[in-house]
Structures are given as C-alpha cells and as structure tokens.
Amino acid sequence: MDLSGKVAIITGVSKGIGRATAEALLAKGAIVAGWGRTAPDDFKHPRFHFIKCDIRKEADVQKAYAATTKELGQQVHVLVNNAGIGNFGPIDGFSSDDWHAMFDTNVHGLFYCTRAVLPQMKQQKEGHIINVASLAGTAGSPNLAGYCATKYAVRGFSDSLFKEVRPQGVRVTCIMPGSVETNFNGAEPGQKPDPHKMQPEDIAAAIVHALEAPQSTMISELQMRPTLPK
C-alpha cells in the first residue's frame, strides 16, 4: 500500500510504539488519527489528529470512529491496534481488577476498534489491520500468565480474522515484538539505548514494512527479537 494520503487510526498513540508508529506513518505522507486517553506531549503535525478515546469502553470507540470519519472522510485504510497494558504477578496474588483491566484493553478494546473499521474496509475492498501482540503470545512465562493469556488471544483473533476478511481485500498482520524499550509496566527507558532491547522506532519500521508490502502479499505474522540476547 502506498501510504501517501491514506487515513490511519492508531490506538495508544501517546507514547512508545504508538507514538513512533504515528511519526513513521506521517513521514510516509499518511493522515493519522491518534486515539488515546491522553494526547502525546509536544507532538504537532498538520496531518495528525488526536481523538480522545478509552478503547475499553465500546461507546467511546464508536464516538471516536464517528469523529474520525467526520473529520477525515469515510475511508479509513489502516488500523493499528497498539494500545495495551501489562500487569504482572503470581496468579494467586493477582487482583481481579488487574486481570480485567488487561483483557478490557488488550482484547476487548482491540475487538471494538476492529469491528468499527471493518464494514468500510470491506466495502472499499482495501484496508490493513495491524494487531500489536507480543512474543508473550507464543510462550508462557511465570508471573506473566494474565498478560500472556491476552496476547495468545490477540494472536488467535488475528489468525482467524485474516482468513475471514482476505476475500474482501483486507489484510491483517499480527506483530509480535520481544523486549522493547518503552514505559511499559511503568519502567522508564534508560538514558542510553539498551542493546538487549529493541526501540519503539524498530517496531514502527516493521509496521510500515508490512503496510507497504505489495497488494498481492500479506505478512500475516511477524516475530521480532533483539539481535543480542541477554
């Protein structure tokens, strides 16, 4: 897909992978609707439109989609389901609220956003949905059972979805990064890049790569790891 002039929705746009993806798509000439609970700091661009949205709430997603199409036109070409949270800890010490918060964001919110854009993408026979999962969706880890469960769900959803919407010309890619240097789980990125972690810009570049693949090609799944293991 040639991204110039295309409309892209990115969730969780305020920082990390979401913000880096917004910058990468803007650099390619796309028009970006950034959905999030908070606007990114010091981020202004004539083709960037922030729309306040808590994807955990279905009504919020419907309002954000209506606001996006009102402002940018009916056609939406890209959805990057990036918003996600991780609460870690042992299962018998885990609060139900933390468990629900992860599923409400990582799984249910992703479903609401996907369902919002699909009818138009199918009608225009063009669209690309990127679901940001994790390598935690490929193998379980102690004290990450809840987070892994959500990312396994995202991977299964993506695998089913691409088979469902392929005949209508809609592509679906599941991106599964390993360790990325972001504010994820409250951790502050270091002053110097950690050689054992990828940068948000690396994931954004992979998203652009998947989007720009020839129309005859769909990258359905992409696993990413730091080159240097710990």
Q: Which residues are catalytic?
A: 147
Rounded to 5 degrees, what are φ and ψ at 59? -65, -35
Residue 67: left if φ>0, alpha if ψ -120 to 50, beta else—which one? Answer: alpha
| C-alpha pair distances (Å), 228 with each of 22, 171, 207 | 27, 31, 21
Q: Computed over its alpha carbons, how large is the radius of gyration of the chain?
A: 17
Distance CA 210, CA 222 (A): 9
- Angle, alpha carbons 135-221-74 (nearest 5°): 115
Asked whether 107 and 56 are in contact (CB, 8 A), the reply is no
Phi-psi region of 17 (alpha: psi -120 to 50; beta: other; left: phi over 0): alpha
Cα–Cα distance, 62 to 200 (Å, whole number): 28
